[in-house]
Amino acid sequence: MSSSRNRSAFTLVELLVVIAIIGVLVGLLLPAVQAAREAARRMSCSNNFKQIGLAVHNYHSAYKQLPRQGTGTPNLGGQPDGQTVAGAPTANSRLELSWLVGLTPFIEQQALWEQISNPFQDVASGAIFPPMGPGPRRWLAHHAVTLYDPWMTEVPGFRCPSDPGVGLPGQGRTNYIACQGDSAEQINGSIGDNGNVASTQAAINRQASCRGFFVPREKAAFRDVLDGLSNTIMAGEIITDLGDNDTRSRGALSGGNVRQPGGNLLCDIQRDPLRPQFWNVAGNYVPVLLQGGGTDPEQRRGLKWAMSRSIWGVFNTILPPNGLICMDSNNFNTGLLPASSRHQGGVHVLMGDGAVKFVTDSIETGNRSSAHVGTGANLVPPGSQSPFGLWGALGTRGAKEVDVTIE
């Protein structure tokens, strides 16, 4: 007697069909997974910003003023940047430290603050730095190795998880910087790095143009925000440079005066016509190299959390979010410095009351060809409504514009 058994199994064709279906499903689901991951990163980014806002309010409660944008020790001699081991004891920070430095003990970085606010000795070299350390402006230009660790420390609370930038030439990266208003005039204020007012006229210019939440190197408090904390931007988000000539993280020279009528358009021609988000480095792009600012690779957006000036520590509400960086000259003092992010379609901003808002790239920005507010010839008169629309109005603390709220 014989018996036969039928064995059931997949045929090759059936197996290939199943594999194809799985591949299609994976292809359909992958964008959704990536979107979910970015949504989680964006939420974490917003939460970090909220913690910074809470820290500012706690700081103000403790000291009755805002953390100063442009703080530290004045340049009264010695070696400001601590360029040698022997010069370390006479180093100073030139009043160039950012508002984030003073916030460190309020965001659970007390150990870092203790290093900064007390004499610091580099174990390997023996260099001893005074409290508040050397200036962070050109560190890698003079040191093959790090002598002052605090400025190189990357604080997790100052980073947005959506930004992939890591490591050198970044010297403690950050994605959150101070808002200094709707004018490029006097973005370094009227007080020099020696702590003295440059001149009466410089002080007058600063008073007219520095209309943001933070005034560089000046004491400020919540009471100065006459438009209301909920209507005024305290800080904004930026990307950190990836070395890819992105118009949002590397500056261009304007070849003119960005404050004058039409000045906001001066750098547009230097974009790559096929990839407008990048500079035309093979064509007419003229890079900016900030005087005394270190090596070219470190003079990019978001690479020095402790530095208050220019590309590293300032944003203004002139060009819309994710606009280009355009500087008047190779210095720290005048330029278009927009907010930017790796999120799709806009940036986070921190309002004075601690709320975090998402502002789209399409926010109303008024007359982009307008001159800036200031005391000079052809500038918009002091006290005027912001010429840069809703975006500019949100950046001013006391210009009395109406309907400046964002959802």
Contact 236, 350 (CB under 8 A): yes
Region 53-78: mean pLDDT is: 91
Flag whether pLDDT at 371 surpasses 50. Answer: yes
Q: Which of 329, 326, 245, 242 is nearest to 291 (CA)?
A: 329
pLDDT at 125: 80
Domain residues of the chain, as ranges?
Answer: 15-68+152-406
The Cα–Cα gap between 22 and 19 comes to 5
pLDDT at 400: 82
pLDDT at 33: 61
Region 73-93: mean pLDDT is: 78
Flag whether pLDDT at 173 surpasses 90. Answer: yes
pLDDT at 143: 59
Confidence of residue 325 (pLDDT cuts 50, 70, 90): very high
The Cα–Cα gap between 57 and 62 comes to 9
Region 204-221: mean pLDDT is: 88
Region 249-258: mean pLDDT is: 92
Region 308-331: mean pLDDT is: 92
pLDDT above 90 as % of the chain: 51
Mean pLDDT of the chain: 86
**Greater pLDDT, 8 or 106:** 106
Flag whether pLDDT at 210 surpasses 70. Answer: yes
For 56, 72, 187, 232, the CA distances from 87, given in Å and listed in that order, are: 34, 18, 30, 42
Confidence of residue 145 (pLDDT cuts 50, 70, 90): low
pLDDT at 1: 47
Region 97-119: mean pLDDT is: 94
pLDDT at 198: 75
pLDDT at 50: 93
Which contiguous run of DSSP H or E holds residue 336? strand 335-336
pLDDT in tens, 35-58: 667 778 778 898 999 999 999 999
Of the candidate ranges 13-22, 268-277, 278-287, the one whose mean pLDDT is the lowest: 13-22
The Cα–Cα gap between 281 and 287 comes to 9
pLDDT above 70 as % of the chain: 90
**Greater pLDDT, 287 or 14:** 287
Flag whether pLDDT at 404 surpasses 70. Answer: no
Flag whether pLDDT at 168 surpasses 80. Answer: yes
Across-strand partners of 121?
Answer: 128
Contact 205, 197 (CB under 8 A): no
**Greater pLDDT, 178 or 27:** 178
pLDDT at 140: 64
